[in-house]
């Protein structure tokens, strides 16, 4: 997209980075999820999130066509130094417990729905189009996470594990709503309809209803920001770069 | 040679490209072709829409289309693009493709939110897994004939 200002570019990168990393995190459950349907679910959901990331990177990199912009997308997705990422720490941390992964999936997707809504009427046409495609896919993601939580939250042991994961994840999940660089410019130019933190109350309300807890108990006193990477990010980036490090010109 | 005839030949060439997930089913029958423009001097622009954002076959399909159109007599250049809109939906799958999917792949196409009919016996199926072996298919079973049914859905 020619003429995309650097501020709007930053704004879109934060969204793209979150989508990329949550997609990557979900892929790491393929083959080790607790049952076959979950292998399938996490692989499909991961594929969608990576598709959303590719669509967003394509808007940042070029004209919004994920195939045309393949190599430029790779540069953004794999070529940046850690300090140039704008991801939230929620999607950077390693989840080696399935309850943890499931709660993160729910928290992230509840926020993601609101985030796409913020750009559904975007002045940036490819972004509005990506939002329309994404929402159709996200309905399934939310149904998946909610369906499991409906069954597992009332079970004593499962419910305890899920609530423990929630307490651990909530402070980081709120970081999804931290104002990102370029957001003011994005709102001023109609790329987004309003600052994302204007939806925070709606999200915390959903969390309260879903888990029957008061999220305020877990919220951080100050924004966590998107400029500092979580210690888990370094090893994650190494895993993500395994193929490109072997063969920078690889096409797959 | 008129432009209309060229457009027909190009369309026939695009129709020879199958979806990698469904050998034997044309991408046109799956509703992937959104636009096809030809100029009198043989420049062709093909606009496709993906079934899902994360479809890993986009490059492969675009390459196949480019190759097929390139071979058409009278084509000087071809531009294949993935379009951002409209959003693909199962409504775009033709009756022909639905019949082939049911017969060859035991795949039903889900229209709307109603029950899905088993491609073998026509009974309503039960959803087993919202996600299946590929991104656009859920897994159902048929309580009547016990068949496992994959369901292509929005």
The verdict on B103 and B72 lying in the same domain is: no
User: Residue A150 is inside which H or E element, if any?
Assistant: helix A125-152
Residue A51 binned pLDDT confidence (cut-offs 50, 70, 90): very high
User: For residue range B48-84, what is the model confidence (pLDDT) as tens digits?
Assistant: 999 988 888 898 999 999 999 999 999 999 999 999 9
pLDDT above 90: percentage of residues in chain B: 73
Cis-peptide into B86, omega within 30 deg: yes
pLDDT above 70: percentage of residues in chain A: 94
| The pLDDT value given to residue A224 | 66
**Do residues A136 and B154 make contact, with C-beta atoms less than 8 angstroms apart?**
yes
Residue B21 binned pLDDT confidence (cut-offs 50, 70, 90): confident
Q: Which of B82, B109, B143 is the last residue of a domain?
A: B82
- Rg (alpha carbons) of chain B, rounded to whole number: 17
CATH value at residue B53: 3.30.300.130
Section A175-194 average pLDDT:
94
Q: How far apart are CA B112 and CA A140, in angstroms?
A: 14
List the structure tokens of A135. Answer: 């929402």
A-chain residues near B81 (CB < 8 A): 65, 68
Section A197-207 average pLDDT:
95
Q: Is residue A189 included in any domain, yes or no?
A: yes
- Domain that includes residue A180, residue range: 6-246
The count of domains in chain B is 2
The verdict on B76 and B25 lying in the same domain is: yes
Locate the DSSP E strands across chain B: 18-19, 22-26, 33-38, 43-48, 77-82, 107-109, 126-129, 137-141, 148-152
- Sign of the Cα pseudo-torsion (A56, A62, A65, A66, in order): negative
Beta bridge partners of B137: B152
Q: Which of B82, B113, B135 is the last residue of a domain?
A: B82
Percent helix, strand, coil in chain B (nearest 5)?
25, 30, 45
Percent helix, strand, coil in chain A (nearest 5)?
70, 0, 30
**Do residues A32 and A98 make contact, with C-beta atoms less than 8 angstroms apart?**
no
ipTM: 0.87
Q: Is residue B89 included in any domain, yes or no?
A: no
The count of domains in chain A is 1
Q: Is residue B22 included in any domain, yes or no?
A: yes
- Rg (alpha carbons) of chain A, rounded to whole number: 17
CATH value at residue A234: 1.20.1260.10
User: For residue range A110-131, what is the model confidence (pLDDT) as tens digits?
Assistant: 999 999 999 999 999 999 999 9
A67·B84 Cβ contact <8 A: no
Q: How far apart are CA A171 and CA A167, in angstroms?
A: 8
Q: Is residue B87 included in any domain, yes or no?
A: no
| The pLDDT value given to residue A69 | 65
Nearest CA in chain B to A49: B54
> Which of A20, A47, A56, A132 is the best residue to mutate to test the B interface, defined by the most B CB atoms within 10 Å of its own CB?
A47
Section A230-251 average pLDDT:
91
A-chain residues near B85 (CB < 8 A): 129, 132
Q: Is residue A217 included in any domain, yes or no?
A: yes
Q: Is residue A252 included in any domain, yes or no?
A: no
Distance from CA of B106 to the nearest CA of A (A): 19
Q: Is residue B143 included in any domain, yes or no?
A: yes
User: For residue range B83-133, what is the model confidence (pLDDT) as tens digits?
Assistant: 999 999 999 999 999 999 999 989 999 877 778 999 999 999 999 998 988
Q: Is residue A251 included in any domain, yes or no?
A: no
B106 DSSP assignment: -
List the structure tokens of B24. Answer: 């034997």
**Do residues A78 and A241 make contact, with C-beta atoms less than 8 angstroms apart?**
yes
A49·B54 Cβ contact <8 A: yes
Nearest CA in chain A to B82: A65
The verdict on B27 and B50 lying in the same domain is: yes
Please provide the size of chain A in residues: 252
Residue A25 above 80 pLDDT? yes
Q: How far apart are CA B55 and CA B51, in angstroms?
A: 7
Please provide the size of chain B in residues: 154
**Do residues A43 and A27 make contact, with C-beta atoms less than 8 angstroms apart?**
yes
Residues 162-221 of A with CB under 8 A from B: none
Pairing of strands B137-141, B77-82: unpaired
A91 burial (CB, 10 Å; 0-12 / 13-18 / 19+) is buried
- Domain that includes residue B127, residue range: 94-152
| The pLDDT value given to residue B1 | 52
User: For residue range A214-229, what is the model confidence (pLDDT) as tens digits?
Assistant: 888 777 767 766 888 9
Residue with tokens 């770069």: A241
User: For residue range A74-85, what is the model confidence (pLDDT) as tens digits?
Assistant: 889 999 999 999
| The pLDDT value given to residue A1 | 44
Q: How far apart are CA A211 and CA A217, in angstroms?
A: 13
B-chain residues near A67 (CB < 8 A): 58-59, 62, 82
The count of other CB atoms within 10 Å of the CB of residue A41 is 25
For A162-219, give the DSSP string: HHHHHHHHHHHHGGGGS--TTHHHHHHTTSSSS-GGGGHHHHHHHHHHHH-S-GGGG-
A-chain residues near B135 (CB < 8 A): 44, 47-48
Distance from CA of B134 to the nearest CA of A (A): 7
A-chain residues near B127 (CB < 8 A): none
Beta bridge partners of B129: B139
Query: CB distance from A45 to chain B under 8 Å?
Result: yes
**Do residues A50 and B54 make contact, with C-beta atoms less than 8 angstroms apart?**
yes
Q: Give the number of C-alpha atoms closer than 13 A to the C-alpha of residue A58, restricted to the C-beta side.
A: 24
A55·B53 Cβ contact <8 A: yes
Q: Is residue A153 included in any domain, yes or no?
A: yes
Nearest CA in chain A to B79: A68
The verdict on B77 and B103 lying in the same domain is: no
pTM: 0.92
Query: CB distance from A120 to chain B under 8 Å?
Result: no
| The pLDDT value given to residue A173 | 93
| The pLDDT value given to residue B25 | 94
**Do residues B77 and B43 make contact, with C-beta atoms less than 8 angstroms apart?**
yes
B58·A37 Cβ contact <8 A: no
């Amino acid at each position: 997209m020619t003429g995309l200002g650097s501020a709007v570019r930053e704004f879109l990168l934060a969204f793209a980075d979150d989508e990329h990393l949550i997609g990557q995190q979900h892929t790491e459950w393929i083959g080790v999820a607790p049952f076959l349907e979950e292998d399938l679910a996490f692989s499909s959901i991961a594929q969608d999130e990576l598709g959303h990331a590719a669509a967003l990177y394509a808007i940042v990199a070029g004209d919004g066509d994920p195939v045309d912009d393949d190599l430029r997308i790779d540069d953004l997705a794999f070529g940046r130094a850690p300090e140039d990422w704008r991801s939230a720490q929620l999607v950077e941390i390693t989840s080696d417990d399935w309850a943890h992964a499931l709660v993160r999936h729910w928290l992230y997707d509840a926020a993601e729905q609101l985030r796409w809504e913020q750009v559904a009427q975007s002045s940036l046409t490819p972004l509005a189009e990506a939002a329309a495609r994404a929402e159709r896919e996200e309905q399934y993601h939310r149904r998946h996470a909610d369906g499991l939580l409906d069954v597992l939250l009332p079970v004593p042991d499962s419910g305890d594990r899920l609530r423990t994961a929630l307490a651990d994840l909530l402070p980081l999940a709120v970081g999804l709503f931290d104002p990102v660089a370029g957001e003011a410019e994005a709102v001023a130019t109609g790329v987004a309809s309003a600052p994302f933190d204007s939806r925070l109350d709606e999200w915390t309300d959903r969390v309260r209803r879903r888990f029957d807890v008061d999220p305020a108990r877990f919220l951080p006193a100050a924004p966590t920001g998107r400029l500092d990477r979580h210690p888990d990010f370094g090893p994650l980036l190494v895993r993500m770069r395994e193929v490109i490090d072997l063969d920078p010109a690889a096409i797959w | 040679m008129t432009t209309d005839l060229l457009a027909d030949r190009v369309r026939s060439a695009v129709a020879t490209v199958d979806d990698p997930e469904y050998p034997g089913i044309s991408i046109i029958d799956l509703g992937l072709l959104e636009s096809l423009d030809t100029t009198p001097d043989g420049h062709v622009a093909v606009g496709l829409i993906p079934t899902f954002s994360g479809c890993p076959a986009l490059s492969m399909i675009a390459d196949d289309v480019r190759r097929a159109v390139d071979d058409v007599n009278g084509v000087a250049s071809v531009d294949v693009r993935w379009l951002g809109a409209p959003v693909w939906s199962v409504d775009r799958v033709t009756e022909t493709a639905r019949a082939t999917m049911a017969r060859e792949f035991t795949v039903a196409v889900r229209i709307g939110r109603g029950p899905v009919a088993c491609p073998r016996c026509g009974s309503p199926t039960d959803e087993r897994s919202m996600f299946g072996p590929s991104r656009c298919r859920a897994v159902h079973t048929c309580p009547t004939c016990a068949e496992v049914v994959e369901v292509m859905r929005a």
